[in-house]
Amino acid sequence: MSSTELTDVVGDYAAESAVLTTVRHMLVEVIGEDYALAVDIDMDTSFNRDLELESIEFVTLSAKLREHYGNTVNFAAFLGDKEVAEVAELTVGELVTYISGCVARD
Amino acid sequence: MSRILFVVPPLAGHVLPTVALGQELAERGHDVAWVGHTEVACRLLPPELTLFPAERPGSETWLTETYERSRGLRGPAAFQFLWKDFLVPLAGRMIAGVEAAVHEFGADLLVVDQQALAGALIARKHRLPWITSATTSAELTNPFTMVPKFGEWVRAQLDELQRAQGIRSDDAALGDLRFSEHLVLAYTTESFVGMNATVPSQCVFVGPSLGKRVESGDYDWDWLDPRRQHVLVSMGTIDRENNGRFLNTVVEAVAPLAHRVQVSIAAAPGLIERSPDHVRVREFVPQLDLLKHSAAVVCHGGHNTVCESLANGLPLVVAPIRDDQPIIAEQVVASGVGRRVHFGRVRPAELREAILSVLDQPGYRAAAEQIQSSFADAGGTVTAADHVEKLL
C-alpha cells in the first residue's frame, strides 16, 4: 500500500467516524436519551432489532438528515431501493457508509 | 335462500367480524357455515353453527411453531414473516380443506377474510362469487411510501400463489387476492381511515361488525367503583407472552392513580409481577361489556380493539407492536382520538401522562364520539349483510 493510499484509507475512516457521530446523535434524539443510554449505537447496530425504530421514526430521521446534509444525502432514495429482507436487517453502518459516500462525492 | 361459506384464518380477530355477519345472514334465512381452524374458531362460534376443518388434524403443531417463531419480531422483520412464513404457506395448507368444505356444503358464495388467501384461490378456481372481509383497514391504505418495494414484494408473492395453484390466467388477471373483484367489506369508516386511502371502487365502508358476540369469562362487576374512571388494557391475543415489559410499565404508570382510576388488564398469567388493588389482571375479559363501563382504552392498535373502543366513543392510548398496528395507530393519532406511545421504549411517567391526557382533555373523547357516530351511521353488521345479499 502506498502512502497516498494509506492517507486515503485513514481519511475515509475519519470521515466515516464523523458521520457515525452525527447519525448517533440524531438517533439519540429520535429514540430519546434515557432509552439510548441502554443501547450502544455502533456500526453493527440494527435499526429494527436493536433500536426498534418504527416507520414514523424513520420519517423523523429522514428529516434530520435533510436538515443536516441538505440535498447531498437522499435518504428516501437509499431506503426506497431496499428489498424487504434488506430493510429488516438494515444496520447503522450501512447508512453511515452510504452517507460517507454521498459526502465524499459532493 | 343461499348457502354462504365463510373462510377464516386461525386468528381470533379475523373470525369475529364474520361471526356477527354470519349470524345476521342466518337470521335472514340463509344457510351459513365456516371453514377454519377448529382450535381457534370453535370457541368463537356459537355451538349451533357449522364449522368445517380447514386442515387435517395435527395442524396445531405447525401453527404453534409458527407463532413461536414469530414472537418478538417487529417492523419489517414481522412484515416479512407475516407474508412469507405465515399467510402464503397457510394458503397452501388450507386449500384442500376449503375445497372440501365448498363441495360438502354446496356453497353459492364465499366470504373470505383478507388473510385467508385459500378462500380467494378456491373462489377463482371454481368461478364462485366471493367477498373480501377486510378485518383491518391497513391494506386499504398505502403504508409503503418510504419502502415502495414492500408493496411490490407482496403483490409478486400473490401473483406467484395464483400461478402455483393453477388459476387460469384470465381469472388471475381479475386481480390481487386481497381484494375481491365483486365486493370488499371494510369494517371501518372513511372518517377514521382518512381521506388519503386508495380504496378500490368495489369497497364499502360498513363500520365495525360487532353483532352478537359470544363473550368468554364473567367479570367481578361489583368491583367497579362508579366514582372512579375505568381504563381497559388489552394487548391482543397473539403477542400475549411478549408483553411483559409493557404491561409492567402500565402497572407502574397507573400505580399513583388509585384515587381516580381502576384498571382492568387482559394478560396471560405470570406476566405481571405485582398489581395494586385498583388493578385487576385477568386472562380473558368480556371486552365488549367492559368497554361500556370504561373511560379510556390502552391497547396495541389491533383493528378490532380500536374500533370496538371507538364504537363506544372511548379515547385510546396505542402502543403498536407490529403488522397493521402502526398503521392503525397513525389513524388514531390523525383522527385525534388518542395518543401513540412506543411499545418497546415507553417509560411509566410518559405512559401516565398519555393516559391522563386522553382521560382529561375533552378533545380526545369528542373526536372519539365523532368516529362513534360515523360507525353508527355506517350500519355495521346489518349494512354488511345488505351488501352481501345484493350479490346473491
Confidence class of residue B237 from pLDDT cuts 50, 70 and 90?
low
The predicted model gives B320-334 an average pLDDT of 94
> Which cell goes with B225?
367503583
Q: What pLDDT score was predicted for residue A9?
A: 67
Task: Answer yes or no: is pLDDT of B27 > 90.
Answer: yes
Options 3.40.50.300, 1.20.1560.10, 3.40.50.2000, 1.10.150.120; CATH for B3-181 is 3.40.50.2000
The whole-number pLDDT of residue B167 equals: 93
Q: What is the mean pLDDT of the segment spanning A79-84?
A: 94
Site from A37, A87, A90 to mutate, B interface, most B CB atoms within 10 angstroms: A87
Name the B residues in 320-349 with CB < 8 Å from any A CB: 320, 326, 330, 342-345, 347
Contact at CB, A76 and B146, closer than 8 angstroms: yes
CB-nearest partner of A80 from B80, B143, B148: B148
Of the candidates B207, B12, B200, B194, which has an alpha carbon nearest to the alpha carbon of residue B113?
Answer: B12
Distance CA B272, CA B284 (A): 14
pLDDT number for residue B348: 96
Q: Which residues pair with B318 in a beta bridge?
A: B299, B340
Beta carbons of B75 and A59 less than 8 Å apart: no
**pLDDT tens-digit map of B178-187:** 999 999 999 9
Of B198 and B192, which is predicted with more confidence? B192
What ipTM was assigned to the predicted interfaces of this complex?
A: 0.86
Q: How far is CA B336 from CA B52, B298, B358, in A?
A: 42, 15, 10
In Å, how far is B195's CA from the nearest CA of chain A?
Answer: 19
Question: Which residues in chain A are closer than 8 Å to B330, comparing Cβ atoms?
Answer: 56
Q: Please report residues of A whose CB lies closer than 8 A to that of B143.
A: 55
pLDDT of residue B140: 87
CB of B75 within 8 Å of a chain A CB? The answer is: yes
Residue B332 has pLDDT above 60, yes or no: yes
Identify the pLDDT of residue B146: 83
Domain B221-376 = CATH 3.40.50.620: no
Put simply, the answer to whether A82 touches B342 (Cβ < 8 Å) is no
The whole-number average pLDDT for the span B22-35 is 97
3-state secondary structure B261-296: EEEEEECCCCCCCCCCCCEEEECCCCHHHHHCCCCE
Q: Which of B144-158, B302-316, B375-389 has the lowest mean pLDDT?
A: B144-158
Contact by Cβ (8 Å): B288, B218: no
Spatial separation of the C-alpha atoms in residues B28 and B32, rounded to whole Å: 11
C-alpha cell recorded at residue B144: 409503503
Closest CB to A35 among B80, B149, B345: B345
Q: Which helix (H) or strand (E) holds B5?
A: strand B3-7
Across the interface, whether the CB atoms of A54 and B342 are under 8 A apart is answered: yes
Is the CB of A85 inside 8 Å of chain B's CB atoms? yes
Say yes or no: A34 contacts chain B, CB-CB below 8 A: yes
Q: What is the pLDDT of residues B68-110, one digit of tens each?
A: 899 889 899 999 999 999 999 999 999 999 999 999 999 999 9
Count how many pairs of residues, chain A against chain B, have C-beta atoms within 8 Å.
Answer: 58
CATH number, position A83: 1.10.1200
What pLDDT score does B185 carry? 97
pLDDT mean over B346-369: 97
For residues B46 and B340, the model is more confident at: B340
Average pLDDT, chain B: 93
- Which residues, in sequence order, are bridge partners of residue B265? B233, B281
| Contact: A88, B342; criterion CB under 8 Å | no
Whether A75 and A66 have beta carbons less than 8 Å apart is answered as yes
Judged against a pLDDT cut of 60, whether residue B216 lies above it is answered with no
Tally the domains of chain A: 1
pLDDT at B72: 84
A87 in reach of chain B (CB within 8 A):
yes
The answer, yes or no, to whether residue B314 has pLDDT greater than 90, is yes
Q: Please tell me which residue, B173 or B217, carries the higher pLDDT value.
A: B173
Structural domain of residue A26, as residue ranges? 3-105
Q: What is the DSSP code (8-state) at residue B217?
A: S
Distance, CA of B384 to CA of B392 (rounded, Å): 13
Q: What pLDDT does B217 receive?
A: 61
> Is 80 exceeded by the pLDDT of residue A8?
no
* Angle ∠(B311,B313,B314) on CA atoms, nearest 5: 110
Check for a shared fold between B3-181 and B221-376. yes
Name chain A contacts of B150, Cβ cutoff 8 Å: 84, 87
Among B75, B326, B342, beta carbon nearest to A48: B75
Q: pLDDT of B260-294, one tens digit each?
A: 999 999 988 888 988 999 999 998 899 889 999 99
Contact residues, B window 123-152, toward A, CB-based 8 Å cutoff:
143, 146-150
Helix residue ranges per DSSP H, B169-317: 169-172, 190-193, 244-254, 287-291, 303-311
Chain B: closest CA distance from residue A71 (Å): 17
Delimit the domains of chain B by residue range.
Answer: 3-181, 221-376
> Crossing angle of helices A55-69/A3-31, nearest 10°?
130
